[in-house]
Amino acid sequence: MYTLAMMNFTHIMDSMIMMPLGDQFMDLFKINPAQFSYLVSAYAFAAFLSASLSAFLLDRFDRRRALIFLYTGFTVGTLLCGISNSYMLLLTVRFVTGLFGGVLGALALSIVSDLFPYERRGRAIGVLTAGFSAAAAVGVPLGLFLATRFGWNAPFLFVGTLGGVVLTVMVLRFPPMTIHLNAKVSQRPLAIVQRITGDANQLNALLLGMILVLGHFLIIPFIAPYMSRNVGFTPNQITLIYLIGGSLTVFSAPLVGRLTDRFTPLPTFIVLMLISFLPVIWITHMGNASVPIALVATSLFFVFGSGRMIAPQTMITGAVGPESRGSFMSVKSALQQLAIGLATFISGLMVTFDDLEQLQGYNMVGYLSIFICLVAIWQGKRLKVAAGN
């Protein structure tokens, strides 16, 4: 779990650092919001392709070997991002990095689901989510500091170097994980597709995962640029968004995990989702405001935005048994990466510059996010726990 948490830290920091650097990329490469959104969505669309392919392969191998292979590709790709010197080269390398990094989350969930029974899985997923929070609390502020001090390349070089250390630990200490290989089920591509498409519950779970990410990710890429251009944050104050919000979720995510196990996932999911709409509206409608007031809004979004993902993730892992969990999680990851790419692309089309170089249309992005999340609640009520979970 500690190794997976560190892996989560690096690959989440790698993806998150792109967004608070949005203003720097737009100024340095002379690109508009839509072109910046391509840098974010390139990783997501590549991850969609690789996760779709891995759905037919992941359950055939020891999870340890798969983890080391994928994390090696991610680490090398991140280092290459750090030495890119043009927009097109960076765009290309981000795509290549996404081919490897986009499957890591699905593999981590497969490992956790293999190790923990459904009744205790919420707490374990809460720990993984805390790794995400640590990336926001420590990784992003550190990355922004490095970018300010040494240039935008520095955060990627740092993540790639840290990834090399984590990779070494994986090779030396991570145990083999082959329990899923004992299942007497066919791993032929057609059989895998039939198992998923022939199970309405698995299809509902995949759709829920995609809807969740689409609604959640719509507003994320432009939080930092919006706070900078419209609310009045300085670059140093932007780091406070991630430092405070991420620090709070390091503690709130495991708590939500425990609440999920205690009160069951569905009620926890519904309550947290409805509460999360308040900071979404607040952030996307904010004008010029004091830094402390704005930080309250962004911190609430971090806490409830991440919290609303834990219970439904637990529900989704319960929709499939261990014999085909890796394939299922790969398809889930593919669809969610597609949702991230679509969300970033859509928000990039909806958000524009006005004459004062401020961002316009962000409020409509907030409304669309809430509507999609309401659909996620309806979809979540349709899920059932599969036998043997």
- Which phi and psi angles does 109 have, rounded to 5°? -65, -35
Q: Which of 132-136, 299-303, 384-388 shows the lowest mean pLDDT across its residues?
A: 384-388
Q: Enter the tokens of residue 304.
A: 């409830």
Task: Give the model's pLDDT for residue 128.
Answer: 72
What the chain holds in terms of domains, given with CATH numbers, is 2-175+187-380 (1.20.1250.20)
Euclidean distance between CA atoms 318 and 346, whole angstroms: 31
- Which phi and psi angles does 258 have, rounded to 5°? -65, -40
Euclidean distance between CA atoms 363 and 306, whole angstroms: 21
Judged against a pLDDT cut of 90, whether residue 165 lies above it is answered with yes
Mean of pLDDT values over 25-43: 82
Task: Give the model's pLDDT for residue 366.
Answer: 95
Q: What is the pLDDT of residues 357-370, one digit of tens each?
A: 788 999 999 999 99
Euclidean distance between CA atoms 243 and 130, whole angstroms: 13
Mean of pLDDT values over 8-37: 81
Q: What is the pLDDT of residues 46-78, one digit of tens each?
A: 888 887 787 777 777 788 888 899 999 999 999
Task: Name the nearest CA neighbour of 310 among 43, 98, 132.
Answer: 132
- CB proximity list for 53: less than 8 A, separation 6 or greater: none
Contact indicator for 311, 266 with CB cutoff of 8 Å: yes
Task: Name the nearest CA neighbour of 43 among 168, 156, 207.
Answer: 156
For residue 108, the tally of other CB atoms under 10 A from its CB is 24
Euclidean distance between CA atoms 300 and 91, whole angstroms: 32
List C-alpha distances in Å: 70 to 66, 75, 79, 127.
Answer: 6, 9, 15, 21
Task: Give the model's pLDDT for residue 103.
Answer: 82
Q: What is the pLDDT of residues 203-229, one digit of tens each?
A: 899 999 999 999 998 988 888 889 988
Strand pairing category for 352-353 and 359-360: antiparallel
Task: Give the model's pLDDT for residue 285.
Answer: 93
